[in-house]
Amino acid sequence: MIKTKELFSLDHTLAGDYLAGFEYPWQALPGIKQLIIDLGKTLDPEEYTEISDNVWVHKGAKIFPSAYLGAPCIVGPETEVRHCAFVRGSALIGSNCVIGNSVELKNVIIFDNCEVPHYNYVGDSILGFHAHMGAGSITSNLKADKKNVYIHSEGDIETGMRKIGAMLGDYADIGCNSVLNPGAVIGCRTSVYPCSCVRGVIPADSIYKAQTEIAAREDR
């Protein structure tokens, strides 16, 4: 369950058509910057304001005074970007999202109804519909040895890329202060315990307690 169409409901992001062209979601990361620039030029000026070069904000979004929006960036309707959020650039943020205080984003696609509310770093990652990152949870996007990232599944998948954060399927829930190691893939509706260190692919409809203790959800 690591393919793009298995992880994400593609009708809940402006990037749906773009993502549909990739078998695996991490393959989409290098093109996010250009995608946002191209999408921005097609947005209805009655709905979106280009507040600076290549930064488009929906008129129904709320940007707090101390937040920083770097180019290129799109912020969707009813989304809040709260105090001291640092959007470094190449961030496509959907509708009804929360980008919280002191959150840093870089080269990401954030699906609709996604919450990244407190002290999170999300880089080179894709967060699915209704995904949630608990306070202090982060995506680690670069290995200590600076070598290419592999996706650790039943067989390792060579990505050819040095920077990959995490792929969070729809409704994935990451516990507070957890670290998602480079190339982590969290299946749809899976919950990760607080203070976890996650590596590899975690199946859908699971509860991650430790790397060797992953249980099936009993409420599914």
Interatomic CA distance for residues 215 and 207, integer angstroms:
5
Q: 71 vs 23, 36, 91, 175, CA distance in Å? A: 27, 9, 8, 30
Strand, coil or helix: 157: strand
User: Percent of the chain scored above 70 by pLDDT?
Assistant: 100
What confidence score (pLDDT) does residue 123 get? 98
The region that residue 88 occupies, defined by phi over 0 for left and psi between -120 and 50 for alpha, beta otherwise, is: alpha
Which tokens is 111 given? 């699906």
1: pLDDT strictly greater than 90: no
Interatomic CA distance for residues 213 and 211, integer angstroms:
6
Interatomic CA distance for residues 188 and 119, integer angstroms:
23
What confidence score (pLDDT) does residue 35 get? 98
- Enter the CATH code of domain 4-216: 2.160.10.10
Q: What is the pLDDT of residues 105-129, one digit of tens each?
A: 999 999 999 999 999 999 999 999 9
What confidence score (pLDDT) does residue 136 get? 97
Burial of 126 (0-12, 13-18, 19+ CB in 10 A): buried
Interatomic CA distance for residues 59 and 5, integer angstroms:
30
32: pLDDT strictly greater than 90: yes
Token pair 């409704």 in the structure block, residue: 171
Interatomic CA distance for residues 62 and 54, integer angstroms:
18
Q: Which of 182, 188, 184 is nearest to 169 (CA)?
A: 188
Phi/psi at 69 (nearest 5 deg)? -115, 110
212: pLDDT strictly greater than 90: no
Phi/psi at 167 (nearest 5 deg)? -110, 115
Q: Which of 129, 156, 151 is nearest to 29 (CA)?
A: 151
Q: What is the pLDDT of residues 50-60, one digit of tens each?
A: 999 999 999 99
Token pair 């996706």 in the structure block, residue: 151
148: pLDDT strictly greater than 80: yes
> Which residues contact residue 11 at a Cβ distance below 8 angstroms, ignoring those fewer than 6 apart?
none
CA dihedral 169, 171, 175, 181 (to 10 degrees): 10
- Band (218; pLDDT cuts 50, 70, 90): confident
Token pair 């209805």 in the structure block, residue: 44
Interatomic CA distance for residues 25 and 13, integer angstroms:
14
- Band (154; pLDDT cuts 50, 70, 90): confident
- Band (220; pLDDT cuts 50, 70, 90): low
Q: What is the pLDDT of residues 69-80, one digit of tens each?
A: 999 999 999 999
What confidence score (pLDDT) does residue 57 get? 98
